[in-house]
Amino acid sequence: MGLFFTCAQFLMLIALISLSDCYDPLDPNGNITVTFDINQWLPEGYLARVTIQNYYQYRHVDPSGWTLGWTWANDEVILSMSGAFATKQGNCSSFKSPTVPYSCEKSPAVADLMPDALPETRTDDCCHGGLLAAWAINPSMSFSSFEMTIGNLGANPKVQAPMDLTLMAPGPGYTCSPIEDADPTAHSDIGGKRQLQAYRTWKSTCTYSSFVSNQAPLCCVSLSTFYNPKITFCPDCSCGCREADKNTVSCITEGYDVPGSDSFDDIVQCTDHMCPVRVHWHVMKNYFTHWKVKLTISNYNYKRNYSNWNVLVQHPGFSQSTTAYSFNSTMLPSFGLSDEVALFWGIEYYNDELVNADKDQPGAVSTQILLRKDLESFTLGNGWALPRRVYFNGENCQMPLPDTFPMLPNHCSSFKPTNPVFLLLIYLTFINKSSL
Ligand SMILES: *[C@@H]1O[C@H](CO)[C@@H](O)[C@H](O)[C@H]1NC(C)=O
Ligand SMILES: *[C@@H]1O[C@H](CO)[C@@H](O)[C@H](O)[C@H]1NC(C)=O
Ligand SMILES: *[C@@H]1O[C@H](CO)[C@@H](O)[C@H](O)[C@H]1NC(C)=O
Ligand SMILES: *[C@@H]1O[C@H](CO)[C@@H](O)[C@H](O)[C@H]1NC(C)=O
Ligand SMILES: *[C@@H]1O[C@H](CO)[C@@H](O)[C@H](O)[C@H]1NC(C)=O
């Protein structure tokens, strides 16, 4: 039992350290792809359909939604738009009636319409209030489209792609590649019997970096087990420190009234970790062929509900059949990582909303998870049953350091197993550990 720093824990530590950069090894192909399809030439311009597709497995676009911007290469103006709106009309004073452009901005910014938009302002696949679901969770809600007619390009239009695409979703964090020519988008007609293609297609991909978004950390992980009464709390100052640190969001001691909701700033409950969200992993039970975990997600923010939240957990135990009782779940490809990756999210109308904290307690959702054992690898020793990595809404959560993990106790006397099979298992685990 003296061997605290096993190889697995060392690897875990390396993983923790390497996660501070921007590349996400759990979703290496994730991106938001923006496609401009020219579907028709007009006398002095063209008709374009713009599609924003979220290919991130577990990163969604929250309220207040996406805003797309670009800079025109020439003197283009937007004559009309449906399915979204340009936030500014800009200076259209050089256009005489009857041509009244919709937006003359050199660098327009476009945002989504709400679901209740009037029929005449809509187009197919539009109007989700700027929200994009994560690809692995709800692909049918992971994209949005709008249409615009572009004019003012002269009689022989020299059509050039717009430049400098920007995506706010809703805040900063996304960096978009240059908009470039791509294979024309094809779509089918007559029930799939005839294929149509865009005249011209431009594409850009936008990728997220928490380094660029520069947001305060969002979450931390705490741990507990049935075999040790010790609870491993979130590391102190995971998301900020209670006082000293002036960048920290403001906090309120539990039980006090929260001031009116006139300010939009986040206010969290005062804790040692100061995170708006905490993910707790409790190893509950050890059965003969299975083991059970309770996963609880708590919201310490008094002023924010997390709708459509999701939690990603990396753990080798997910290589076996896994049942989450009160969350929806799926396995994700592990991209050559040694441990499996499971994604959990709420069940519609039941717990898909992680509500704000109130005066007395944080908002919380939880589930029990039953995992089949792989008897080759399963062990309660060395913190094996604890998660390797946890993300909340795509943001990496601060893990406690391995040397603070709840350990199997040294003496069986301090430890009351629930059944004899269980005792035998623990005994075997000890045998195995002492053989290390
Ligand atoms: C964007 O994501 C899609 C889907 O995962 C992938 O096919 C494509 O290669 C990605 N694009 C880039 C530039 O990474
Ligand atoms: C609007 O555009 C016209 C013509 O391009 C220009 O003369 C005028 O100064 C602009 N007005 C403003 C307020 O920029
Ligand atoms: C969160 O959701 C609950 C229930 O839907 C609602 O009563 C509450 O006002 C919401 N809180 C915020 C901050 O939007
Ligand atoms: C689980 O998620 C999938 C995909 O979003 C959905 O089709 C299914 O209805 C969900 N199941 C429950 C029980 O919410
Ligand atoms: C102990 O190790 C043996 C092989 O080394 C393995 O078959 C057995 O499942 C292990 N027992 C436990 C409880 O980990």
Residues contacting ligand 5 via CB (< 6 Å)? 375, 379, 425, 428-429, 432
Q: 296 CA to middle of ligand 3, Å? A: 19
| Structure confidence by residue, pLDDT tens digits, 234-288 | 999 999 887 755 556 778 877 677 666 555 567 888 899 999 999 999 999 999 9
Distance, in Å, from the CA atom of 216 to the CA atom of 274, rounded to the nearest integer, reads 10
What whole-number distance in Å separates Cα of residue 146 and Cα of residue 148? 7
> Ligand 5 centre and the CA of 376: distance in Å?
6
Distance in Å, CA 272 to ligand 5 centroid: 39
CATH 2.60.40.290 in the chain is located at 27-211, 216-420
Query: 378 CA to middle of ligand 5, Å?
Result: 8
What's the gap between Cα 142 and its chain centre? 12
Handedness of CA 391, 386, 360, 325 (dihedral sign): positive
Please, which residues bridge with residue 196 across strands?
187
Determine which residue's CA is closest to atom 10 belonging to ligand 2. 91
Ligand 4 atom closest to the Cα of residue 348 is 14
The 8-class DSSP code of residue 432 comes to H
Q: 55 CB under 6 A from ligand 1?
A: yes
Relative to the CA of 303, which ligand 3 atom is closest? 13
**Rounded to an integer, what distance in angstroms lies between the CA atom of residue 379 and that of residue 431?**
11
Q: Please report the DSSP string for 137-163 in residue order.
A: T-GGGSEEEEEEEEE-STTTT-----E
List C-alpha distances in Å: 399 to 44, 225, 273, 369, 393. Answer: 57, 16, 11, 20, 16
Least distant ligand from the CA of 291 = 5
Picking from 62, 310, 36, 251, the residue whose alpha carbon sits closest to that of residue 159 is 36
**Segments of the chain with pLDDT less than 70:** 1-23, 244-248, 255, 258-265, 410-436
Q: Distances in Å between the alpha carbon of 431 and those of 119, 285, 316, 425?
A: 70, 20, 22, 10
Cα of 436 to ligand 5 centre, how many Å? Answer: 12
Structural tokens at position 391: 């993300």
| Ligand 1 atom nearest to 177, measured from its CA | 13
- For atom 7 of ligand 5, the residue with the nearest CA is 376
C-alpha 35/C-alpha 204 separation (Å) is: 7
Alpha-carbon distance 36 to 59, whole Å? Answer: 23
pLDDT of 335: 83
CB-ligand 1 contact for 205 (6 Å cutoff):
yes
Q: Give the length of the chain.
A: 436
- The Cα–Cα gap between 5 and 86 comes to 56
Q: How many whole angstroms from 367 Cα to the centroid of ligand 3?
A: 21
CA distance 291 to 264: 43
Residue 184, number of CB atoms within 10 A of its CB: 14
pLDDT of residue 215: 81
DSSP alpha helices (H): ranges in 177-270? Answer: 210-213
Instruction: Tell me the CATH number for domain 216-420.
Output: 2.60.40.290
**Ligand 4 neighbour 175 (Cβ under 6 A):** no
CB 302 within 8 A of CB 268: yes
Tell me the CATH architecture of domain 27-211: Sandwich (2.60)
Task: State the distance from the centre of ligand 3 to the C-alpha of 389, rounded, in angstroms.
Answer: 29
Q: What is the dihedral of CA 162, 91, 173, 170, to 10 degrees?
A: -120
Query: 27 vs 32, 55, 57, 175, CA distance in Å?
Result: 12, 10, 7, 16
pLDDT at 15 (0 to 100): 44
* Residue 261, pLDDT score: 55
The tokens for 358 are: 């109130």
